[in-house]
Structure 1
Amino acid sequence: MDPKTVVKKFLTFRECGPLYLPKGKGFQHSPDDDVVSLPSWLSEEDVEYFASKLEKAGISGGVNYYRVTHLNWELSAPWSGAKVTVPTKFIIGDQDLVYYMPGMKDYIHNGGFHKDVPLLEEVVVMEGVAHFINQEKPNEINKHLIEFFRKF
């Protein structure tokens, strides 16, 4: 796929549930299907910018992060069991792929998250929003941030 199509498909991905990439089917659409409708929060100018960076740097760096997941676990092992001990507000979209990873909703809403983040003040699940919440709903995100920081 050309970089613009990759960027469009990646930023507009909205399938709630675990991510599966069936062999030969690619990411969300076939490589020949390059027609992607842009949502109001994503302009062609944005796509051009991101695609130019992708074209220059390639996608290997991002993909390699996931290829070495085992190494990431090894490198972060000294912090295993560490708690996040600062006041925290967590915001996620109800259409975010991460929210639908197996066990994630239970972890977030039924005590596991609060156990690991004891100063968790609030969990916000924004409706109609996927992974790029700061781009999709910037005004709402800013309101949440300002509300949170005013406490300090």
Structure 2
Amino acid sequence: MTDIHHRTLDSNGIRIHIAEQGKGPLVLLCHGFPEGWYSWRHQLKALAEAGFHAVAPDMRGYGETDRPEAVESYTLLHLVGDMVGLLDALGEKQAVIVGHDWGAPVAWNAAIMRPDLFRAVAGLSVPLLPRPSVRPTSLMARMDEFIWYILYFQSLGIAESELERDVRASIYTIFGSGFGEDQPSDRIGMVDSTRGLLHGMSKPMNLPSWLSEQDLDHFTKQFTNTGFTGALNWYRNIDRNWELLAPFANANITVPSLYIYGDRDVVGRFPGMDKTIAGLSNRALDLRGKLCLKDCGHWTQQEQPAEVSTALINFLKDL
């Protein structure tokens, strides 16, 4: 089996770095925050060995991919467009698209907008979300000095200053705490606006078993080189996405789909998420499965790589 190969391709007006392995039908793997292509390191190998061409890009704003300066260059239309452009750059007519965390909305929306190109979709952690009737930020919680974490991310420079003060400690805490999965129910997703994101997250004495020092070194080097602005700009387009995607309001997914989530995932404790997950088949019309991974937190494909890889391969081979 060949090793992971790296190259940079032109797509949608930017240069996108990809890691790829294997030959066969194309599978695009879209990462979330704060990650990179490396979060799919286990699946690249497993999918390649199963007969697929697995491609994990550094998404727009991350790693060795371009980081446009304008905040408004990070909408879901740009992000889906990047994936459409990758198909052209790779010389492919179709792909299965898989996304985790922020990569999941990219994957879900890619399947909605271009079912001719994306023949199937799998989302990890974040389900297909309904479009609210008003701007999303207007619905986000504020409670005394605490605000919803996405609101904390809105102001340019504030979250960057906190996260970049000690990049290794920031990554250690975010991954090690499960993105705050042990917070009490009334504080889930909430940030002390004066003390910052990391204040409410418990930093474990040791790295979780799924994250080695070498893995932590990789992410630390990546975000030391790039900073966090490009990654945070995804959050700064929450309301802009709401406006731009109005033509696709509550559109259904018609291609085969799969949803994978962990039973300890903090996302599952967000308000209304249980109902969204339960009703997923109402919009994903060919939902082939909802897999709940036992004793798994938010970092799904890194925490339980074998289980995720097996589920993806079974889904792919059944298409």
**TM-score normalised to structure 1 length:** 0.86
Q: Give aligned-pair identity as a percent.
A: 32
Structure 1 56/36 Cα, relative in aligned 2: closer, same or farther at 3 Å? farther
Aligned to 1:87: 256
| 2:291 is aligned with 1:127 | no
Q: How much does 1:78 deviate?
A: 2.1
Q: How much does 1:55 deviate?
A: 1.0
Amino acid at match of 2:317: R
Structure 1 30/126 Cα, relative in aligned 2: closer, same or farther at 3 Å? closer
Separation of aligned partners in 2, 1:115 and 1:55: 42
Alpha-carbon deviations, 1:97-116, whole Å to 9, x = none? Answer: 2211111112212xx31111
Matched-pair contact (CA < 8 Å) for 1:9–1:36 = no
Q: How much does 1:5 deviate?
A: 0.7
Separation of aligned partners in 1, 2:314 and 2:203: 40
Separation of aligned partners in 1, 2:287 and 2:203: 42
Question: How many residues are matched?
Answer: 149
Matched-pair contact (CA < 8 Å) for 2:268–2:274 = yes
Structure 1 35/151 Cα, relative in aligned 2: closer, same or farther at 3 Å? closer
**TM-score normalised to structure 2 length:** 0.43
| 2:308 is aligned with 1:141 | yes
Q: How much does 1:42 deviate?
A: 0.2
Alpha-carbon deviations, 1:27-77, whole Å to 9, x = none? Answer: 34479x976520111011111111111111111122222122101111222
Matched-pair contact (CA < 8 Å) for 2:177–2:203 = no
Q: How much does 1:139 deviate?
A: 0.5
| 2:233 is aligned with 1:64 | yes
Aligned to 1:24: 194
Unaligned runs of 5+ in 1: none
From 31, 46, 53, give the equivalent of 2:215. 46
Most deviating of 84-93 and 18-27? 18-27
Separation of aligned partners in 2, 1:84 and 1:50: 33
- Moved segments of 4+, more than 4 Å: 33-36
Aligned to 2:21: none
Cα RMSD (Å): 2.2
Structure 1 30/149 Cα, relative in aligned 2: closer, same or farther at 3 Å? closer
Q: Larger % of helix: which?
A: 1
Matched-pair contact (CA < 8 Å) for 1:8–1:36 = no
Q: Larger % of strand: which?
A: 2
Matched-pair contact (CA < 8 Å) for 1:97–1:130 = yes
Question: What SS does the corresponding residue of 1:88 show, helix, strand or coil?
Answer: strand
Separation of aligned partners in 2, 1:146 and 1:67: 34
Q: How much does 1:129 deviate?
A: 1.1
Greater relative contact order: 1 or 2 (C-alpha under 8 angstroms, separation 6 or more)?
A: 1
Aligned to 1:5: 169
Separation of aligned partners in 2, 1:19 and 1:114: 26
Separation of aligned partners in 2, 1:90 and 1:104: 13
Matched-pair contact (CA < 8 Å) for 1:11–1:132 = yes
